[in-house]
Structure 1
Amino acid sequence: MRTKHFLIIAFAAAALLAGTPSFAAKKAAQKPATTASSSATAPTTGIVGGVPVLPAKAWLVMDFDSGEVLASSNPDEPLPPASLTKMMTSYLVEQALKSGKLKENDLVSVSQYAWCRGSSTESCMYLPLNSQATVIDMLRGVIIQSGNDASKALAEHLGGTEEGFAKMMNAEAKRLGMTKTNFVNATGLPDPAHKASARDLAILARAIIRDSSKYYPIYAERDFTFNKIKQGNRNALLYTDPSVDGLKTGHTEDAGYCLVTSAKRNGMRLITVILNTSSAQARADETRTLLNWGFGNFEKATPLQPNTAVGTAKVRYGTVDTVAAGLGAPWTVTVPRGQKVETAVQLKPDLEAPIAKGAVVGKVVASSNGKQLSEAPLVAQADVERANFFKRAWQGVTGMFGK
């Protein structure tokens, strides 16, 4: 009887203890972290074991400067990208403007095919049928209003047809290294063959920020008015987080709610991708989680200062035998907070004069905890002229027999 009472008391105490916060936290920490794409009981948004856990089908955090993926889940599965597609549409237009192929005030016609009838199933800039609008207005219509009509009109203007423009999109995707992407149209309207991965979309976002600096501020604009119709940017974070300055939202039934975002804090820029989550609120909340985790756990480090000699490279047949090597431009790396960065200098062994100041003479590699983080070229810090014939001959002899 005493044994029975003891067991009852023991079970009651265990149940009471299990309900305490500290015990629950310890038990949660002992459970293996699930991925964002695992099972019907999707995890809620948060951080588990120091790593983000999100209910999105795929997500990713990328450091803009290096292109390094800091964390991800299911980053390489081709998924429907919805209107995130329009980042490639706008990128091609921006590059055409940059090259002079297009001008901002060029007029673009709105064909019957491009015209948007204003149904509830698609987003529109509301360009009138058979009208014209400038390239720069249509670019804003694509980026801010997510206009399918503007996207199609620009596609026809640049590619002849939307199909022709899709070929241009895929060629550019291949050039950028987007290996899991296939574009069928300029809008992201559903098609079984129209896919992109989270990693590829981050690569595209990085290209837009890097290559379209003149037009990238448009991605941060909160609204745009055309034809007396004012529409707001669907990226909710532009209204709540001053560090966010782009890029694009997307939604279809197949794609779910998607968001590609970039933010810059304390000199560090991060890119995040959320694919196939449950609502507009969820994609904003999950993006906040990724940004706060990334900025909270990583920092910028400057391994070496530019224009400072970090090594001496040997030079053959020069008026001098060596040249100082150093960084030609500022160099930063992204590392987990508090980690020490180590550098290793590698100089080219067979340099011959003449060597111009700024010529690459080696590289420096940054690593942390044994993992390579980044590398940067080392350049000559001065000119080295070629020696006259007699000195070169003497250097050749001493090189053969030693000094």
Structure 2
Amino acid sequence: MTDQRRRAAHTARVLALAALSALLLLAPGVARAADDDAPRIQAPSAIAVELSTGDVVFGRREDVQRGIASTTKLMTALVALEHEPDLSKRFTVPAYAASAGESLANLHAGDRMTMEDLLGGMLLPSGNDAAAAIARSVAGSIPAFVRMMNDRSREIGLDARFRNPIGLDAPGHHASASDLVKLTLLLRRFPAFRDIVDRRSMTLDSASPAITVVNRNTLVQEYPWVDGVKTGHTRSAGYALVGSGRRRGISVISVVLGDPSEAARDADSIALLRYATSKYRRVRPLRKSTVVGRLPLRYRDTKVDIVAAATVTRTAERSEKLQTRVIGLPRDVEGPLRRGARLGTIEVLQRGKVVARIPAVTATPVEAATFWERLDDGLARGWVRFLIGLGVVCLVVLAVLVRRSRRAR
């Protein structure tokens, strides 16, 4: 790997870790499934997370480490995407000696295939041959790639450990449902990943001849709002699925591990996705041009409306209320000011934390006060009238004194 590619890979890892920390550590709150309408699922380990809030909507032994089968390929994809950002780059497909029953993309040894097509062959049909090709392409060998997988796992704070890039059962090869959510959050930063896992099928044009692969995640096939992510199955690990979906503007990730059958896996996953999306709604606690205050104009007996400069849209639990408060406004306003001049800030609070700051601006232009308005305003003030009166008295007294002085002469 060249120095330039090493620097790019390091930068990608730093950005990924920062993004993950921001979402997982700064999330406003965490909820747990305790409702009567929580889905009855068979999976011994499961989780559902709402992405905007970071809430764990449903959790069942989600931190328990266990076999994860081909959902392992999510870590394989992450390492590949972070180290090979040019997805059009071609790599030679090595020969792969498959055991009976392995899932394959049926790649042709010796083909020069793009990284994008290798990812498609790995993620959609769960091709073990594609996963092995990616590992050798990125690291030179499978053992070297596995070291990269485990190094990355430690860097992002996962308890997951890997013995191969495919997901074959092996002692010490494990992850938790929570680990897989964190991996998926990092992968969703890559548009190519989001595009691939949301496809029903994909034609690998860089293969010769071209290969068409079909997504093994049947939920993507059946539900338009489901957009990923990865299936898995081995005899030891059972059936697994990392799912994702967006419905009515609510985005969620689900994970089920250890299900007894493919049907149970799919039923559990769609139940979790439906449940999690149903618990939230998109709300607008602040709309553009909403009047949040009225400030008096200096030297005039009128006021100017102060309004929100933008609309704020947030995801919230259905019973949740968001608050707003205005800070930093002056006591009055002196022109000239253009329409939209910022005079303060509107804060939107969710669960006691500020989640948005929007400028509070003038709804209309404010002209400069005229001389007569300034004079009239001054005359209307009591202290000004007092000073004027005092000045008149002083003038009268001075006039009397001058007159007496003239008479004395």
TM-score relative to the length of structure 2: 0.64
Q: Distance in 2 between matches of 1:328 and 1:200?
A: 37
Q: Distance in 1 between matches of 2:277 and 2:184?
A: 18
Residue matched to 2:215: 233
Residue matched to 1:191: 170
Written as runs of structure 1 = structure 2, the 5 A alignment for 1:100-139 is 101-111=84-94, 115-139=95-119
* Change in 2 beyond 3 A, CA 1:110/1:213: closer
Q: Which amino acid aligns with 2:115?
A: V
- Select the residue among 341, 352, 355 that pairs with 1:376: 355
Q: Which amino acid aligns with 1:207?
A: L
Residue matched to 2:159: 180
Q: Which amino acid aligns with 2:80?
A: V
Written as runs of structure 1 = structure 2, the 5 A alignment for 1:209-288 is 209=188, 211-226=189-204, 227=209, 229-288=211-270
> 1:78: how far off?
0.8
User: Residue 83 of structure 1 contacts residue 187 of structure 1 at CA under 8 Å; is this kept in 2?
Assistant: yes
Written as runs of structure 1 = structure 2, the 5 A alignment for 1:56-75 is 56-75=43-62
> 1:365: how far off?
3.9
- Select the residue among 61, 70, 79 that pairs with 1:92: 79
- Select the residue among 319, 329, 341 that pairs with 1:338: 319
> 1:343: how far off?
5.5
- Note if 1:204 corresponds to 2:187: no
Residue matched to 2:41: 54
User: Residue 321 of structure 2 contacts residue 350 of structure 2 at CA under 8 Å; is this kept in 1?
Assistant: no
User: Residue 347 of structure 2 contacts residue 357 of structure 2 at CA under 8 Å; is this kept in 1?
Assistant: yes
> 1:346: how far off?
9.5
> 1:119: how far off?
3.3
> 1:120: how far off?
3.0
Show CA shifts across 1:15-38 (max 9, x none): xxxxxxxxxxxxxxxxxxxxxxxx
> 1:146: how far off?
1.1
* Change in 2 beyond 3 A, CA 1:330/1:344: closer
Q: Distance in 1 between matches of 2:243 and 2:198?
A: 10
Question: Which SS does the other structure have where 1:293 is aligned?
Answer: helix
Written as runs of structure 1 = structure 2, the 5 A alignment for 1:321-360 is 330-335=312-317, 337-342=318-323
Question: Which SS does the other structure have where 1:60 is aligned?
Answer: strand
Residue matched to 1:40: none
Question: Which SS does the other structure have where 1:302 is aligned?
Answer: strand
Residue matched to 1:19: none
Question: Which SS does the other structure have where 1:303 is aligned?
Answer: strand
Question: Which SS does the other structure have where 2:243 is aligned?
Answer: strand
User: Residue 80 of structure 1 contacts residue 196 of structure 1 at CA under 8 Å; is this kept in 2?
Assistant: yes
Q: Which amino acid aligns with 2:82?
A: Q
Written as runs of structure 1 = structure 2, the 5 A alignment for 1:382-401 is none
> 1:363: how far off?
7.2
Q: Distance in 1 between matches of 2:326 and 2:155?
A: 31
Q: Distance in 1 between matches of 2:176 and 2:223?
A: 26
Show CA shifts across 1:67-105 (max 9, x none): 221111111001111111111222233334xxxx44233
> 1:196: how far off?
0.9
Q: Which amino acid aligns with 1:219?
A: V
Show CA shifts across 1:202-231 (max 9, x none): 12112222x112441111111234545543
> 1:297: how far off?
2.6
Q: Which amino acid aligns with 2:40?
A: V
User: Residue 288 of structure 2 contacts residue 307 of structure 2 at CA under 8 Å; is this kept in 1?
Assistant: no
Question: Which SS does the other structure have where 1:332 is aligned?
Answer: strand
Aligned residues: 299
RMSD: 3.3
Residue matched to 1:353: none
Q: Which has the larger radius of gyration?
A: 2
Q: Distance in 2 between matches of 1:172 and 1:204?
A: 10
Show CA shifts across 1:312-355 (max 9, x none): xxxxxxxxxxxx999999551331x23333467899xxxxxxxx
Q: Distance in 2 between matches of 1:328 and 1:191?
A: 54
User: Residue 288 of structure 2 contacts residue 309 of structure 2 at CA under 8 Å; is this kept in 1?
Assistant: yes
Q: Distance in 1 between matches of 2:124 and 2:99?
A: 18
> 1:65: how far off?
1.9
Q: Distance in 1 between matches of 2:51 and 2:135?
A: 28
* Change in 2 beyond 3 A, CA 1:310/1:284: farther
* Change in 2 beyond 3 A, CA 1:253/1:264: same
Q: Which amino acid aligns with 2:236?
A: D
- Select the residue among 285, 294, 298 that pairs with 2:280: 298
User: Residue 108 of structure 1 contacts residue 132 of structure 1 at CA under 8 Å; is this kept in 2?
Assistant: yes
Question: Which SS does the other structure have where 1:51 is aligned?
Answer: coil
Q: Which amino acid aligns with 1:220?
A: D
Question: Which SS does the other structure have where 1:185 is aligned?
Answer: coil
TM-score relative to the length of structure 1: 0.65
* Change in 2 beyond 3 A, CA 1:291/1:215: closer
Unmatched 5+ stretches in structure 2: 1-33, 294-305, 329-340, 362-409
